Structure 1
Amino acid sequence: MESNSEVKDQEKLTPFDLVAFSSLGGFFFEDDLLQKTTPEDESSNKTEIELVVTTFLESSFYYGFYISEEIYKALIAINDKDKIGLVCMKFLKVLCDDIGESTANGLVMYPNFPQQVMEASDFDLFLNAIINYWSNGTLLPEYIKQKRLPLDEVHEKVKIKNVVKTDDLKAYFLKLLASKSSLTAENDKFVDFALEKGWYNEIPSEFEIPFKQLACKVAYFVMRRNLSIDKYIKTTTDILRLMAYASGGDVTLEKKIKFKSFPRRERRILIQALDNVIKSDDVKFYVELWKLAFHSLHVGEYKHTKIPEIAHKYRNENNVTTYDTQYCEAIKKQDSLKAADVLKVKPSIFARNLDKVIRDCISVNQYDNIAKVMEQFDECSLKIGTKVLLQLLSHFQRRKFLLLNEDKRANSNRLVQISGKLYSVIVPNNEVVIPEKVLNKLIEIIENSLVNQFKERHLLKGQKVFISNKVDSILLPLQLSSASTKKTLAKGSKISMLREFEEDKEKKNVLRFFVHWIGNDIDLSALILDEDFNKGVTIGFTLLRDGSYAWHSGDIVFAPGPEGASEYIDIDIEAAINNGKRYVALDVRDFTRKKFSNYDVCFGGVMIRESLQSGEIYEPSTVKYKFDLTSETISTVMFLFDLKLKEMIWIDSSLHVAGKANSLQGHSNSVRTVLQEIKMMHEYKVSIGQLVRLHAKASDSEIVDDKSKADFTVSTDDEAGLNVYDVAEINSNWI
């Protein structure tokens, strides 16, 4: 399948292709393409078309995929020998994109890695590195690439099974809109594309978009078409988010926003929607932003609404008294009963302040008031969204876990996620301990509220349910806006990879990490730790090898296009364990402090290999995970690998490194602290397994231990009734 400039232009990937492959498990066929198909026996080009399709199947198999009979028949039925080539090339490009195939042609400092690094003298490694640095990456050592032994390993193939049609994509679009949490970057891009295609017309009149930022995104597209946005605007703050989105600002409202000058027709739509929902209390929450927004909306021109009066009040009074004032004063005075009495009017705010109110009871020795506070919370808990309740459940389960594990509580740090991208570490300062009896009651109240709300959905009614023990280590995907992969998991989730290491009775023993990019200086590093997260060794540009178990392919400081460059790290698992090592953290960062989002090409991944030397450095069929680096950060720790248990603990988090040397070695202590905390998350955060058990209880369903006796299964298997990687389904229907 040769390509030319015309073909290259037509084979460009769209969000349709990517979402169809990664989330729907198949390839997207355009409607007109399917309509032009003909029965096999009527095709005058049958032999030539079969040859092209067979070549595509063979290429797919080489890259680690196999194509279902359904897709094969759909391709064969295309009675156009020119069109079939373009379709197959585009599908093959989708597969290559999923595994990072372009790494095969990337520049590598030591092309005979890892043997070449093993055998090189310390002087040669140092000299090659220093010459490369002095020349700003223009001078690299020249080596003849030696012939390698062919790859003789068995690796499980990924099945591409579905023929995806436009109606399937439209249904997926609505499922994404029903999500109760942030979307991945890929799905967010797909929503943008779907809106541009006009699919907002497919949204049913009674449909509600629960995630506020997503609702405002849809509202913006509707507003641009001079249509009413009332359906998507439920609160005062929704208007502020919409104005921020339209102005290219921060939709989370955490940063200062410069609102654009809205055309009169858009101002009229915004004012009409705002007049229907505006509340003075909500304005005060973002009062400084609202002062700017009122000016941008020219609210003085709309005297027939109640908006000018509210705007005048906040512009001229220093401290407008609102509902918030009452509970803030009560909390400040540690008057827990007063605070609870005020907060129950706004249940979601009560949920977010519940921990503080309970601790205030303890601080002032008013233990009798704890039961009264919990009773008031219980009375209003059914009005709290299930997402908020699940987050609250994780919070109190964490408190209970640390209370019962004093050794971990003494050294525990609290991780706070900022803007969906960064983690900072906060050490608790004499935090008040909530008694176990109180924590048990709080957890009971929250679980009962969730069960009562889940009863309305009947997702498992009348079914016998099998829950794989693997999903108890997969956490709820509640914050995915910064996720870097297509197979997305929540931070702290544990993924067993034992099956991948023992495929076809072969025992694989090598982890090969890689990063590929075009542009400046990207560094791939690995922090290798012992059982207790001590005695860390950093494999990277400062140390290319350590003993007989870890090797780096060499630091490249400039990766010119179009091929770019690649760096690799090999870990001999058995040798590492024998050297007292247990965990490996994969770190990628830009040494020049350029954000990953500014790169056209930047991704990484991990291969599992049987041998260090057999096969090419990059072998597509051995790639198990590939992640795209697209975040607004300059560094990321992708995952922590447990060498002993063959488990991957998902991290996908960046650390703030301003003002310090930009290397993993310079931040190994802070990285280690974050890793220890995230590793513990599966002990207390709500998992997919716990969520499904709550649904089973709500539906009076039986949970069975034998998968063969189940009507519904929950696992990491693509054939499961609920797949843990299907975040759209989980966020829209199960949370």
Structure 2
Amino acid sequence: MQFNEKGYAIMQNDIYLRRSRKVIVVPEESKLPDAHLATAMKNIAALGFTCSPALLAALRTLSEVSFIRWYKALIHSLKKLVGAHVPYRPMYPNFPQQVMETSDAELYLNAWFHYVTNEVPEMEPIDREILQSKVNLDMIELGSEEGFFQLMRQLMEANTSISDTDKKDLAWVIEHDHDIDALLPDAIRHKEQAGFIVATLLRSGKADVTRIQRYVKTATDVLRLAVAWSDGDVSLAANTPFRKFTRAERRLLLGLLEQCPNPIEDMLRYRDRWVRLGEILHPSEYKSRYPLSQEAFDVLRNNRPYATFGHRVEEALRYFDTDQAVEQLLERPGEFARRLDHLLRLEGAEASWIASFFESVADRVATAVLLQVMTHFKYRQSSNELRLFFPKGNVAKAFSLPDTRPPIASDACAAVVEICEQTLLARFAKLPGLGNVYLDAQLQNYMVPFSQRSASKALRTLVRGSKLAMPEGDTIRFFLWWKEGVADGKPTGRTDIDLSAGLYDDVWNYKEHISYTNLRSARYKAAHSGDIVAAPHGACEFIDIDIPSVIKYGGRYIVASLHSFTGQVYSDLPECFAGWMMRQHPNSGEVFDPATVVDRIDLTANTQIAIPAILDLAERTVIWCDLALTRNPNFYNNVEGHQTGVVAMGKAMTTTAKPSLYDLFRLHALARGQLVEREEEAQTVFALQRGITPFDMEEIMASFLAS
């Protein structure tokens, strides 16, 4: 898409607003009438936002024409952020009171009528009271061109995987930025980012060998580039059908491969994919020009013997030869760190020597890996029922397994924790000083962003497992909106997505559920707005749950879940998103009031079940999940058919120990500054709302997880 100057500014502000709650205003020499600004502020507040004093001062300098153009673009972006860009027509327009007061017979007949006709029964809406819930407005700050591009550079320099949304934002900036060399960092540390960015440069006609050669160092880097160039999964978790490359493109890929040291072992890790890629690159045509590449492909195609590092380690472990395994792993410190638990289990009480060898190479292990190893062994003695795994890939799938691992001696665990901590302190001490540092204890509830690869686009970008405090209010209102139609040229057919909520006690015993099969609770103050089974013009569902009534009758956890009853995966829908609000007086205000939206998340995974969040009512926290589960074909795809999987995920998400931002920032503070107890005494602040916050994801990934 081609952008003129105005279109570029609108899109730039849309990205900046979504990522940092900042916008750019180019000052003029006019004086905006107060009435314009007051009206705009009122409408912005109705969406849950307000403007900072600096932003207001910049807006006052605009002409009426410039301001109206800016305001219209901002309102459009804000509505998309909170989900207010679509109409909401629940089956029961006077929800929740109408559902609670309607007889069982009428609820049944209304559902029967809708299932037979796909029409919603005619119901006269009543005048609702003015919204009585207290709303905390989200501040929009004044940004700058320099700040925006610094944000994009930090995203490129992130030392962890980034999300699909991140990649789309980067691709747009790369395509439309004219000074590309000023934008690009000297090094891109994360291999997936490197493959994606180089492919984007190539697609945009902005790549030359000098510009991209510095980002491609290994054979796997070349493979990631070929995958990204073919619009595939750069994490290499899924197979990619390669596109047909031109002769010039084939020479470029082979030339990059030729410069890689010892490519054969690297290529054998993904042997089948390299064989398929070789069928497209035709390396034999260029064997005199790229002899090393031709030799490597010959080994792969003809299965010539080649002893790899991984094979040698596995052979040693297979025969319980820890001496040989450690000798091999010293060559690959990162792999050594990942195998520590296995090695220590094999050695039992005599494991201390393994920790000593690990200490000798720990300074060559990446920061993210050291943090994870440190936390793993810190809580290794804890007895958890389940272990939680997030397989690499672009979908937020999670698996839990019973924890049957034998214990490891406490002194060995303590030794590994100490090694990791001291190594990180020494590494961070080489970075610029932070002065006096204030560290908010609440950051213990926010997890370190090690992998955002499968993170969904949301109102707030968070890390799975983070715990957010609930705002004031007694009623949680979940919402869902989806639309059927045509997506990517394919008709979806009738689409029925169901919003459900499961209620559990403090040890995860089932208490009740609210869904299309149970519109209201016999025990709690909880209700569903009615089951809609088709969405040609968009459809919505809501669930209200009164927190005090759940706690009174022994409930603690609420699991919000979405189920594709008609079998479509979310990624095949034109649009689908969900979220939640907090209400004190649920019958006041509109059923969907954007100012009360706390979180909103897009559902785009190629799965049929999603768990966006778990609510812990005892602690009044929301545990961010953003998970996708696989459908069990032996059951209807609804909340009743997935109790086992939902409970397993709930137990795992509420007990799994992960490194927190408090852990990370504490190490930086100890190594680079002096911790103080009063925020006003600090030059550097790590907190929820001030200084560096959990939502400054780009800066955290680029600056605080540096290797």
TM-score (norm 1): 0.88
One-letter amino acid of the counterpart of residue 643, structure 2: S
2:459–2:601: 8 Å Cα contact kept in structure 1? yes
Instruction: Identify the match of residue 710 of structure 1 among 671, 682, 686.
Output: 682
Structure 1 gaps, min length 5: 1-9, 41-45, 403-408, 502-507
Instruction: Identify the match of residue 301 of structure 2 among 315, 319, 326.
Output: 315
2:405 matches 1:431: yes
Query: Where do residues 104-503 of structure 1 align in structure 2 (5 Å cutoff)?
Result: 105-135=87-117, 137=118, 139-162=119-142, 164-198=143-177, 201-203=180-182, 207-224=186-203, 225=205, 227-228=208-209, 229-279=212-262, 280-300=264-284, 301-305=286-290, 306-362=292-348, 367-368=349-350, 370-402=351-383, 409=384, 411-428=385-402, 430-460=404-434, 463-484=435-456, 485-497=458-470, 500-501=471-472
One-letter amino acid of the counterpart of residue 294, structure 1: G
Match of 1:504 in 2: none
The structure-2 alpha-carbon separation of the partners of 1:663 and 1:358, relative to structure 1 and needing over 3 Å to count, comes to same
- How many angstroms apart in 2 are the aligned matches of 1:233 and 1:11? 34
Query: Where do residues 514-533 of structure 1 align in structure 2 (5 Å cutoff)?
Result: 514-519=479-484, 520-533=495-508
One-letter amino acid of the counterpart of residue 167, structure 2: D
2:233–2:240: 8 Å Cα contact kept in structure 1? yes
The structure-2 alpha-carbon separation of the partners of 1:169 and 1:356, relative to structure 1 and needing over 3 Å to count, comes to same
Match of 2:492 in 1: none
The structure-2 alpha-carbon separation of the partners of 1:218 and 1:393, relative to structure 1 and needing over 3 Å to count, comes to same
Q: Secondary structure at the match of 1:725?
A: coil
Q: Secondary structure at the match of 1:102?
A: coil
- How many angstroms apart in 2 are the aligned matches of 1:632 and 1:176? 25
Query: Where do residues 691-706 of structure 1 align in structure 2 (5 Å cutoff)?
Result: 691-699=664-672, 701-706=673-678
Superposition deviation, residue 386 in structure 1 = 0.8
- How many angstroms apart in 1 are the aligned matches of 2:151 and 2:412? 42
One-letter amino acid of the counterpart of residue 520, structure 2: R
Superposition deviation, residue 282 in structure 1 = 0.8
Match of 2:487 in 1: none
- How many angstroms apart in 2 are the aligned matches of 1:11 and 1:537? 50
Match of 2:532 in 1: 556
The structure-2 alpha-carbon separation of the partners of 1:13 and 1:599, relative to structure 1 and needing over 3 Å to count, comes to farther
Deviations 1:138-167 (A, max 9, x none): x211110011111233321111121x3333
Superposition deviation, residue 597 in structure 1 = 2.4
One-letter amino acid of the counterpart of residue 168, structure 1: G
| Greater displacement, 282-291 / 313-322 | 313-322
Superposition deviation, residue 200 in structure 1 = 7.3
Deviations 1:77-126 (A, max 9, x none): 223x43432221111111212221135x3221000111111111111111
Q: Secondary structure at the match of 1:603?
A: strand
1:398–1:685: 8 Å Cα contact kept in structure 2? no
Match of 2:621 in 1: 647
Match of 1:690 in 2: 663
The structure-2 alpha-carbon separation of the partners of 1:372 and 1:516, relative to structure 1 and needing over 3 Å to count, comes to same
RMSD after superposition: 2.2
- How many angstroms apart in 2 are the aligned matches of 1:294 and 1:655? 35
- How many angstroms apart in 1 are the aligned matches of 2:530 and 2:411? 56
1:15–1:190: 8 Å Cα contact kept in structure 2? no
- How many angstroms apart in 2 are the aligned matches of 1:309 and 1:183? 34
Structure 2 gaps, min length 5: 1-5, 485-494
2:153–2:185: 8 Å Cα contact kept in structure 1? no
Match of 1:632 in 2: 606
Deviations 1:317-361 (A, max 9, x none): 354223333222212222111111111111112222222222222
Superposition deviation, residue 178 in structure 1 = 0.8
- How many angstroms apart in 2 are the aligned matches of 1:400 and 1:18? 47
- How many angstroms apart in 2 are the aligned matches of 1:94 and 1:729? 23
Deviations 1:549-573 (A, max 9, x none): 1100001111232xx2221111111
Q: Secondary structure at the match of 2:381?
A: helix
- How many angstroms apart in 2 are the aligned matches of 1:150 and 1:629? 31
The structure-2 alpha-carbon separation of the partners of 1:12 and 1:299, relative to structure 1 and needing over 3 Å to count, comes to closer
Instruction: Identify the match of residue 569 of structure 2 among 579, 584, 595.
Output: 595
- How many angstroms apart in 2 are the aligned matches of 1:230 and 1:620? 48
One-letter amino acid of the counterpart of residue 20, structure 2: L
One-letter amino acid of the counterpart of residue 545, structure 2: I
2:512 matches 1:537: yes
2:52 matches 1:56: no
- How many angstroms apart in 2 are the aligned matches of 1:38 and 1:18? 24
Superposition deviation, residue 208 in structure 1 = 1.1
Superposition deviation, residue 516 in structure 1 = 1.5
The structure-2 alpha-carbon separation of the partners of 1:270 and 1:425, relative to structure 1 and needing over 3 Å to count, comes to closer
- How many angstroms apart in 2 are the aligned matches of 1:190 and 1:648? 28
The structure-2 alpha-carbon separation of the partners of 1:178 and 1:427, relative to structure 1 and needing over 3 Å to count, comes to same
Deviations 1:366-390 (A, max 9, x none): x43x233222211111111112222
- How many angstroms apart in 2 are the aligned matches of 1:256 and 1:610? 49
| Greater displacement, 170-179 / 351-360 | 351-360
- How many angstroms apart in 1 are the aligned matches of 2:309 and 2:557? 50
One-letter amino acid of the counterpart of residue 303, structure 1: S
Deviations 1:622-662 (A, max 9, x none): 22112222233222111111223211111111111141321
Superposition deviation, residue 51 in structure 1 = 3.6
- How many angstroms apart in 2 are the aligned matches of 1:196 and 1:100? 28
- How many angstroms apart in 2 are the aligned matches of 1:541 and 1:516? 15
- How many angstroms apart in 1 are the aligned matches of 2:378 and 2:566? 41
One-letter amino acid of the counterpart of residue 412, structure 2: V
- How many angstroms apart in 2 are the aligned matches of 1:609 and 1:451? 45
2:149–2:183: 8 Å Cα contact kept in structure 1? no
Deviations 1:567-614 (A, max 9, x none): 111111112211221111111222222222233332222111111212
1:415–1:677: 8 Å Cα contact kept in structure 2? no
The structure-2 alpha-carbon separation of the partners of 1:39 and 1:113, relative to structure 1 and needing over 3 Å to count, comes to closer
The structure-2 alpha-carbon separation of the partners of 1:198 and 1:157, relative to structure 1 and needing over 3 Å to count, comes to closer
The structure-2 alpha-carbon separation of the partners of 1:633 and 1:170, relative to structure 1 and needing over 3 Å to count, comes to same
- How many angstroms apart in 1 are the aligned matches of 2:366 and 2:144? 33
1:12–1:90: 8 Å Cα contact kept in structure 2? no
- For these two proteins, the number of residue pairs brought into alignment is 681
The structure-2 alpha-carbon separation of the partners of 1:549 and 1:419, relative to structure 1 and needing over 3 Å to count, comes to same
- How many angstroms apart in 2 are the aligned matches of 1:528 and 1:351? 39
Match of 2:641 in 1: 666
1:420–1:480: 8 Å Cα contact kept in structure 2? no
- How many angstroms apart in 1 are the aligned matches of 2:134 and 2:308? 67
The structure-2 alpha-carbon separation of the partners of 1:399 and 1:13, relative to structure 1 and needing over 3 Å to count, comes to farther
1:641–1:649: 8 Å Cα contact kept in structure 2? yes
- How many angstroms apart in 2 are the aligned matches of 1:14 and 1:128? 45
Q: Secondary structure at the match of 1:401?
A: coil
| Greater displacement, 350-359 / 568-577 | 350-359
- How many angstroms apart in 2 are the aligned matches of 1:665 and 1:244? 40
Superposition deviation, residue 424 in structure 1 = 4.4
